[in-house]
Amino acid sequence: MAMMFSVAGKQLCEPCAKSVVTAPGAKFTRESFYKLTDPTVCAKCGQDFGDIELATVAKLPVCESCEQALRYRPFPTWVKMSFVGVCLLAVVSFVYNWRFFAAYVEVRRASTALHRGDISEAVRLSSAATAHVPDSVHLRILSHFILGLRDMKDDRAGDALAHFHQVQILSPDWPNIDSTILRAENSAAFDRQDYDAFLATSKKILDQSPTDPMSIGTVASAYACKYAATGDASYKQQSLDYLNRAKGLSTGRTKELYDEYEQRILFRLDTRRIISRQAFLNEFPNGYHPTEKTP
């Protein structure tokens, strides 16, 4: 019986079943064609147990020993080795890609440091991120930008310009990079005592922010430099005109910055001395207060 087939309800031996199924025009469904089983014969090992009906596994009768082998079959060696290989690959991949995760964390921390004004920490973190993924253009851009901010803070506008130009080359659409370069050019012109360029870039900055008191003050500062360098009283008057124009426009933190900036400009007009911000703060830690108002 275990060697027979059911074909459209008829019990046939294997050769007959094949001839019927392969005959021209023969059509049989899965339900009408299947192999018969003897519930007393093990479908796996073929042992006949007489009148004893065997337990079934997947609807097939199997003896006890075969049932154990089927139900608790161990994983093949190739499956085990494949699993070990996949685990090793996952570990290697995690180790290799750790640098990207570390760089991501450092960039986030650099951004936080930048927002709280800790430029030195932002430089350290962005440089570390770039070292982890040196082939990343985006990280190189970010590193150049933060290094430029550091140089601006340290009054090294020429070095800052080199970094900002790299940002512009690598990413022309970087937010506000053109105005950032303009301000760096403005500071660099002051540093090299090119007061004509200082005045020209100051006016361009003012064109971009016509109501910003610091931008107006920058033009006043440039005219004050021109007066200190030449002694031409017309430059002094123009500087004072721009200072008067800026009055009342500054509020809050901007007012504190502008008031200090105004004191430096008034000092320059009174003494015809051009000194750096740090030198001014060292000389006048409590601010500059002229005994007589500048005419």
What's the structural domain count of the chain? 2
For residue 218, tell me if it sits in a domain: yes
Out of 41, 71, 101, a domain closes at 71
For residue 146, tell me if it sits in a domain: no
Domain that residue 267 falls in: 194-295
- pLDDT 10s digit of each residue in the chain, 295 long? 667 776 777 777 878 877 777 778 777 666 676 677 778 888 888 888 888 888 888 777 888 888 888 888 787 888 889 989 999 998 888 888 888 989 999 999 999 998 898 999 999 999 999 998 998 999 999 999 999 999 999 989 999 999 999 999 999 999 999 999 999 999 999 999 999 999 999 999 999 999 999 999 999 999 999 999 999 999 999 999 999 998 878 777 677 788 888 999 999 999 999 998 889 999 998 888 875 444 4
Helix (H) or strand (E) holding 33: strand 33-35
**3-class SS shares of the chain: helix, strand, coil, % to 5:** 65, 5, 30
* C-alpha to C-alpha distance for 232 and 293, rounded to whole angstroms: 19
For residue 9, tell me if it sits in a domain: yes
- DSSP 8-state assignment for residue 231: -
Structure tokens at 277: 């911000």
For residue 179, tell me if it sits in a domain: no
Out of 71, 92, 120, a domain closes at 71
Out of 50, 71, 92, a domain closes at 71
Structure tokens at 122: 């932002």
* C-alpha to C-alpha distance for 39 and 9, rounded to whole angstroms: 19
For residue 51, tell me if it sits in a domain: yes
Structure tokens at 186: 């403005």
- DSSP 8-state assignment for residue 115: H
Check if the beta carbon of residue 44 is closer than 8 Å to that of residue 62: yes
For residue 176, tell me if it sits in a domain: no
For residue 169, tell me if it sits in a domain: no
The string of DSSP letters for 47-65 reads -B-TTPPPEEETTEEE-HH
Does pTM surpass 0.75?
no
For residue 83, tell me if it sits in a domain: no
